[in-house]
Amino acid sequence: MSQYRVSGRGRVDTSRPVSFTFDGKTFTGAQGDTVASALLANGVHLMGRSFKYHRPRGPVAAGSEEPNALIGTRRGAGRFEPNTRATVQEIWDGLQTNSQNKYPSLKFDVGAVNDAAYMLFSAGFYYKTFMWPRSFWDKVYEPFIRGAAGLGVSPTEEDPDHYASRNMHCDVLIVGAGPSGLAAARAAAVEGLKVVLVDESPEAGGTLLSEPQVKIDGKPAWDWLAAEVEALKALGVKIMTRTTAIAYYHQNMVGLCEKLTDHLATLPADTPRERLWRVRAGQVVLAQGALEKPLVFHGNDRPGVMLAGSAQTYLNRYGVLVGTRPVVVTSHDSAWYAAFDLADAGAKVQAIVDIREGVHEALLTEARARGIPVKLSHTATATSGRLRVSKIRVNPVRGGQVGSGTEIDCDAVLMSGGWTPSLHLFSHTKGSLAWNDDLTTFLPEKTPEDCVIAGASRGLWGVEAALRDGAEKGREVVAALGKSGASVAYAVADDRTGTGVSMKELPTDRSPGKAKAFVDYQNDVTAKDLRLAVREGMRSIEHVKRYTTNGMATDQGKMSNINGLNIASDALGKKQPQVGLTTFRPPYTPTTFGAFAGYHRGSHFEVTRKTRIDEWAAQHGAAFEPVGQWRRAWYFPKAGESMDDAVRRECAATRESLGIFDASTLGKIEVVGPDAVEFMNRMYTNPWTKLGVGRCRYGLLCGDDGFIRDDGVIGRMGQDRFHVTTTTGGAARVLNMMEDYLQTEWPDLNVWLTSTTEQWATVALNGPNAAKLLAPLVEGVELTEEAFPHMSCVECTVAGMPARLFRVSFTGEIGFEVNVPAPMGRQLWETLWDAGQQYGITPYGTETMHVLRAEKGYIIVGQDTDGTVTPFDAGMGWAVGKAKPDFVGKRGLARPDLVAKGRKQLVGLLSEDGSKLEEGAQIVFDPKQPIPMKMVGHVTSSYDVGTTGRPIALALVEGGHDRLGEIVHIPMPDRTIAAKITGTVFFDPENARLKI
């Protein structure tokens, strides 16, 4: 064992050595070690380089608040994670870890020149340095920022792990399994309540794990803890370890992230790496404890300088001495106990340096008993040592004057600036905080949630106080849940309570401008930066934060916020509460994307809706495109065909003989009831009263603002029944809109609305041979021009299947849409496919559908309209039932702006040179006008693969309907294209081809 591993101390199992690598070198730790404790046991403090100045850094803490010791961890391909805190990652045999932010090596890092260029990187340097000249941006500044920004490296391989998510309900959720959390759990559990107790550590106990000398109810702390955990489990308490409460959401929903495998050498089969819990709790107890503050002095970031309480944790919990010759620098009693513990474990404590003039006599007695030199009224002004602290300079302070310094040799500096209650989750609840002058910190005040806060997180120090408060708060939540609990008392001995003072920077004899006294280690923010920010005009703490980036790193200022506030307040000459505290936001600690994504990854990221014919399309080589949540066949390329080739062939085949198209994704709504026709009259722009049963009509839906929302063919299946179709993407929106009007504006109408999109499979047949194919298969209606004219619909039988047959056309050819019950869709398709071989039946996809409809000037809502287009703008005034007293949009269409001249109107465009226009391209009247030109519209649809022999386009153009025949111009990057405004119908304007 190394000289830093103390036998008989700690909870690690030194009889079970664990080997792992750090930067390629193999180290041995003990079962139960973290990467940080194992490296410290090997005498290694240097674990990383800082973000901005690339200064050498070691761990400053022992828990999840650690800002410095960020490492990459690897477990084979795809299992790499950057920025893992070495203080949290447990070691296992074979774990590979590496340091970050260094090149070529941790001990010699080229980026450390930034440290010498310190003046360049002061507060606001991003804003100041990268100002001018403009030409520097692309080639100098941006590459520099991109190269320098970020900690660690993102993994590039796909994450092979899986992540689970679950819901949980409980009476009481307790966050933090330290003394107050344990006591609260007992108080609630003995009353039979369902209690969940979570802690981010691998084991319950909190501060008890670092304070084994405490005796509770006559038992040593660890014996009491073990028994208490068992007792709580026996009472039914669910104790979840390695589980971080990451966020507190509305109405007592708390997000938990449970880490299940990161500590295991062998990954168990079928176990997720992490599990995200959504817990809805009747009452929540926040018992998150307190975090120790660093002291702010020159060189307080050198490896070997760490929090005194963390050194105590390394010793008592992990059996590791962080140094054999430490110096303690403090403004709080708690660090004295760290000195005593380390001395008792064999360290030669060089000195206890306390900024205060006097401390409790008992502390001095204990120090004397251990032969530790004490320096009261002293400050620390510098440390030295290249990659590890080797000296600290301390100076007496008399009447505010800093005297001359003395250097003390050491191999570690243990500092304490007092403690900050952990108020993160409390802040998530929008809880209010109140400044406490005595403790120089914010304490929790009121929260709108059903939540209490207990123990050190509300400023109570010591195990006894925490246990008492936990029990008390536990009884409070029991009472809030309608039960009455008995009071529980704990007898505590050898507790260590204490007091201290809270500081801004420590007094120094150095020039303040040269001091590198760090406040935020992770973002390399110094006290000087904060004061500079105030000098440069920042007044609010929110501005100081953003200007300096203090508290904006991944640790969210857990250690830096109060020190930063103390310094900014001092610089502003204001009290801390007047300057304010920045807001803590979720998550409490960095959380993986995997945990948030849970099951929603890959093909499960979003629902993919498929029709009954989708599989056939896939088997026949279809290329697909997403439309809404649907996967739709886009085109059906034959071997060697490009998309254009395939679409040209599909268009031609449909116009010449017969095309078959899967239209199942069309939205379908069944509108039924005695008032169905009245409802349709009010909803759609068209009149419906005179539409006979067995006839259908193109319907246009507007909003009450007069703009087009949706369209579709609507068939009257009976006096009281309409088969409404909507656009593929608009189905849910249209149904919601119909329900809204029906339920809230016209509750007097007796109508039922039912979504039937997924109940029908819809196959469209288009082409001169469509009727010939279908006629022999249809029973119940004759497919002649007389018996079943264009825009007819009927319930009949097709190929033996019950069907709703529509004679409609979205291509300009003879067209039918056959609706059959969805499960029969594939059978219908294949029957038509087989029967259609004699006509060279050709499957086509959405692209051909788009081309053929554009040739006929049929609009696509959302492509040729954009939410500002009226039926009149679109040239479809004929679809507006002007005689109706009211419909949704009627009054809107009469708004002054909607009847004004110069609105953008839908027209056709033919380029003069025969080139294809680009969809979205802007249109101008005069191409010679100075830039910026006045844009008068844009191209909405454009195709050059159709059957008209030349490219065609649709466009919205200002006053377009009055400009037929005029030339407009479309400026492109390389040239300007002239185009002639035409009508929107490019093919068969007489509709001759619709006749059988």
Partner 1 sequence: MLLIHCPYCNETLPEVEFAYAGEAHIARPVNPSEVSDADWEAFLFLRDNVKGPHYERWRHLHGCGRFFNAVRDTVSDKFLTTYEAGAPRPDLASLTERLK
Binding-site ranges for partner 1 (CB under 8 A): 249-251, 253, 278, 280, 430, 448, 704-705, 736, 739-740, 743-745, 747, 885-886, 890-892, 894-896
DSSP 209: G
Is the CB of 109 or the CB of 449 nearer to partner 1? Answer: 449
Q: Give the residue with the Cβ less far from partner 1, 896 or 920.
A: 896
CB of residue 454 to partner 1, shortest distance in Å: 23
From the CB of 942, what's the least distance to partner 1, in Å?
A: 33
The least distance separating partner 1 from the CB of residue 260, rounded to whole angstroms, comes to: 24
Least Cβ distance, residue 881 to partner 1 (angstroms): 13
Tokens at 129, concatenated: 């340095």
Listed in sequence order, the DSSP H helices in 16-80 are 35-41
* Smallest distance, partner 1 to C-beta of residue 704, A: 6
Cβ 892 to partner 1 shortest distance, Å: 7
Nearest to 16 by CA among 33, 41, 35, 37: 33
Q: Sheet harboring 13-22: ordered strands across? A: 25-31, 13-22, 96-98, 70-74, 80-85
Name the minimum Å distance from CB 703 to partner 1.
9
- Residues 6 or more apart whose CB falls under 8 angstroms from that of 225 comprise 182, 204, 205, 208, 209
CA angle (396, 399, 400) in 5-degree steps: 75
Nearest CB to partner 1, comparing residues 575 and 882:
882
State which residue, 219 or 278, has the beta carbon closest to partner 1.
278
**Rounded least distance, CB 560 to partner 1, Å:** 30
Determine the Cα–Cα distance for residues 338 and 419; give it in Å rounded to an integer: 14
Q: Which is nearer to partner 1, 140 or 894 (CB)?
A: 894
Give the helix, strand, coil percentages of the chain, each rounded to 5.
25, 30, 45
Q: Which is nearer to partner 1, 126 or 249 (CB)?
A: 249
Residue 593 beta carbon to partner 1: minimum distance, rounded to whole angstroms: 20
H/E stretch holding 375: strand 374-375
Which tokens sit at 650?
Answer: 């599909």
Residue type, 239: I
944: its two tokens? 């050059």
Q: Which is nearer to partner 1, 15 or 736 (CB)?
A: 736
213 vs 357: CA distance, rounded Å: 28
CB 72 within 8 Å of CB 97: yes
Give just the sign of the alpha carbon dihedral 211, 216, 221, 225: negative
β-strand 253-259 against 391-398: which pairing, if any?
Answer: unpaired
Q: Is the dihedral of CA 732, 738, 744, 750 positive or negative?
A: negative
CB of 276 to partner 1, least distance (A): 13
Q: How many CB atoms lie within 10 A of CB 703?
A: 14
Give one word for 562, left, alpha or beta, with left for phi > 0 and alpha for psi -120 to 50.
alpha
Pick from 964, 990, 872, 971: which is nearest to 931 by CA?
971
Alpha helices by DSSP H, 443-600: 463-480, 527-535, 541-548, 561-572, 576-579, 593-597
Tell me the two tokens of residue 604: 């499960």
Between 155 and 703, CB nearer to partner 1: 703
Q: Rounded to the nearest 5 degrees, what angle is found at the Cα of 495, between the Cα atoms of 491 and 498?
A: 135
| Cβ closest to partner 1, residue 113 vs residue 894 | 894
Tokens in use for 939? Answer: 């191209």
User: Measured from the CB atom, is 32 or 431 closer to partner 1?
Assistant: 431
Q: How far is CA 743 from the centre of its chain?
A: 36
Query: Any residues with CB less than 8 A from the CB of 618 and at least 6 apart, and which?
Result: 624
Task: Residue 8: name the closest of 465, 423, 355, 316 by CA.
Answer: 316
Sheet with strand 305-307: strands edge to edge: 305-307, 412-416, 326-330, 351-354, 374-375
Considering the complex, what minimum distance in angstroms separates the CB of residue 497 from partner 1? 37
The residue (of 885 and 965) whose beta carbon lies closer to partner 1 is 885
Q: Are 843 and 619 contacting, i.e. CB atoms less than 8 angstroms apart?
A: no
- Cβ proximity to partner 1, 705 vs 966, nearer residue: 705
Residue placing its CB nearer to partner 1 in the complex, 743 or 750:
743
Residue 898 beta carbon to partner 1: minimum distance, rounded to whole angstroms: 11
Least gap, CB of 275 to partner 1 (angstroms):
18
The Cα 559–Cα 571 span in angstroms is: 20
- Nearer to partner 1 by C-beta: 576 or 726? 726
Distance of alpha carbon 926 from alpha carbon 938, whole angstroms: 14
* CA distances for 848 relative to 653, 811, 863, 955, angstroms: 10, 9, 16, 19
Cis peptide, bond prior to residue 932, ω within 30 of zero = yes
What residues contact 268, with CB distance under 8 A and at least 6 apart?
A: 261
Nearer to partner 1, 519 or 893 (CB): 893
Nearest approach in angstroms of CB 281 to partner 1 is 12
Torsion of CA 316, 320, 324, 329, to 10 degrees: -50
In whole angstroms, the minimum distance from the beta carbon of 891 to partner 1 comes to 3
Give the β-pairing of 274-286 and 163-175: parallel
Name which of 886 and 913 has its Cβ closer to partner 1: 886
Tell the smallest beta-carbon distance from residue 240 to partner 1 (Å). Answer: 20
* For partner 1, the closer CB: 280 or 391: 280
Nearer to partner 1, 251 or 266 (CB): 251
Q: Give the contacts of 804 (CB within 8 A, at least 6 positions apart).
A: 715, 717, 723, 760, 793, 794, 795, 796, 818, 819
Q: Cβ of residue 327: shortest distance to partner 1, in angstroms?
A: 50
Task: Quote the tokens at residue 169.
Answer: 């309900």
Question: CB 167 → partner 1: shortest distance, Å?
Answer: 9
